[in-house]
Amino acid sequence: MAWRLTYYNAKVAKIVADWPPGIRADFLHIAQMMLDHGPDIGMPHTRAMGAGLFEVRAKGREGIGRAFYCTVAGRRIVILHAIIKKTEKTPAAALETARARLKELTR
């Protein structure tokens, strides 16, 4: 059975769709690799954040995007939250949002 990629909700899908073209292209390339080879393809493309949370590390000329995801039954990859990084460190609020959504899906 193949992997499928879905979004937590339409708002998260729109955030990714609205990313600058270079960042979005890198995200789509990484997402395709995840679908072909499984969700944990490792650095520099993905990274485990602990407790079942992972991040896609997309880059483009315009900056850096992060899409936080988890895997659920049925070989589904769910994009929980997405941001464009403005600072070196990932904002705590973004991680809190992703972790809350992860808890909701894995209850």
* pLDDT tens readout for residues 16-63: 999 999 999 999 999 999 999 999 899 999 999 999 999 999 999 999
Q: Where are the domains of the chain?
A: 4-106
Stated pTM of the model: 0.94
Has residue 14 got a pLDDT over 80? yes
Has residue 95 got a pLDDT over 80? yes
Contacts 24+ apart (CB under 8 A), 53-57: 53/80, 53/95, 53/98, 53/99, 53/102, 55/90, 56/27, 56/30, 56/31, 57/30
Q: What is the CATH number of domain 4-106?
A: 3.30.2310.20
Predicted local confidence at residue 84, as pLDDT:
96
Predicted local confidence at residue 31, as pLDDT:
97
CA distance linking residue 101 with residue 83, whole number of Å: 15
Q: How many Cβ atoms sit within 10 Å of the Cβ of residue 32?
A: 11
Predicted local confidence at residue 5, as pLDDT:
96
Token couple for 45: 């493309």
Predicted local confidence at residue 106, as pLDDT:
83
CA distance linking residue 63 with residue 84, whole number of Å: 7
Nearest CA to 80 out of 4, 13, 3 is that of 13
Q: How many Cβ atoms sit within 10 Å of the Cβ of residue 48?
A: 12
